[in-house]
Amino acid sequence: YFDIPPSEADKMDPQQRLLLEVAHEALEHAGIPAHSLRHSQTGVFAGACAGEYAYLATADLSQVDSWSATGGALSIIANRVSYFFDLRGPSVTVDTACSSSLVAIHLACQSLLMGDSNLALAAGVNLMLSPAVTRSFDRLEAMSPSGQCHSFDARADGYSRSEGCGVAVLKRLSDALSSGDRIYALIRGTAVNQDGATNGLSAPSGLAQEEVIRLALEDGGVDAEQVSLIEAHGTGTPLG
């Protein structure tokens, strides 16, 4: 369906295929014919941080071929979508660990506001293809022995990993209104920062997280008192 020959598909990270499928579904759901976007300033911003397939597919050097490099590169997760749909806007795979898809949303919004994109696909994709990362997190005592996640709870003893893919189709509000699009949500403001030096590379900073929330509220022109629902990243670990 996506014009990928079998020899190339064999060496292709399934995260690439999954994002292709969900991106197509997202455009269908948005009522946008995919062919209408050819040569358009449509950006693709995909959050992804697991490159396990590349390691697995190249462990035996005798099996490495001309498709192995593009098949395993994280950059191609976004680029594959732009290539198939013939999109001419920015095409970026974002890896900021747990926040990858949220930072993809931020970059997509910035691209729309700057005029680099007139439409943007903001996405996240994750598949667990090796036990290595899970094993490392287990040694870090970040994995829940019970397999249950109790975020912000005295019972917090770790979290459970999961897989999935999601794509949001984004436009500037004025463009969405003029096109008569079905609008599900308005992104009023976004912000990104980093924890900086903490008591460990993977340890959070409460002050830095307070600051990024403050910046997002300022960017959106929203007072904290106006916020009625909060969705938080809670690792379910004692540290988190």
Give pLDDT, residue 239.
Answer: 78
Give pLDDT, residue 99.
Answer: 93
Residue 195 exposure: Cα atoms within 13 Å on the Cβ side = 12
Distance between CA atoms of residues 57 and 42, nearest Å:
31
State the average pLDDT for the chain: 94
Burial class of residue 100 (count of CB atoms within 10 Å of its CB; 0-12, 13-18, 19+):
buried
**What is the helix, strand, coil percentage profile of the chain, to 5?**
40, 10, 45
Q: Per-residue confidence at 60, pLDDT binned at 50, 70, 90?
A: confident
Beta-ladder partners of 170: 120
The predicted-structure confidence for 134-174, as pLDDT tens digits, reads as follows 999 999 889 999 888 898 899 999 999 999 999 999 999 99
Three-point CA angle 160, 212, 194, nearest 5°: 65
Of the ranges 34-43, 64-73, 195-204, which is most confident? 34-43
Average pLDDT over residues 56-74: 88
The predicted-structure confidence for 14-45, as pLDDT tens digits, reads as follows 999 999 999 999 999 999 999 999 999 999 99
Q: Per-residue confidence at 215, pLDDT binned at 50, 70, 90?
A: very high
Distance between CA atoms of residues 130 and 134, nearest Å:
8
The predicted-structure confidence for 96-137, as pLDDT tens digits, reads as follows 999 999 999 999 999 999 999 999 999 999 999 999 999 999
pTM value? 0.93
pLDDT at 240 over 80: no
Give pLDDT, residue 204.
Answer: 84
Distance between CA atoms of residues 55 and 43, nearest Å:
28
pLDDT at 235 over 90: no
pLDDT at 197 over 90: yes
What residue ranges in the chain does DSSP mark as E strands? Answer: 42-47, 91-94, 119-126, 164-170
Give pLDDT, residue 36.
Answer: 96
Q: Per-residue confidence at 234, pLDDT binned at 50, 70, 90?
A: confident
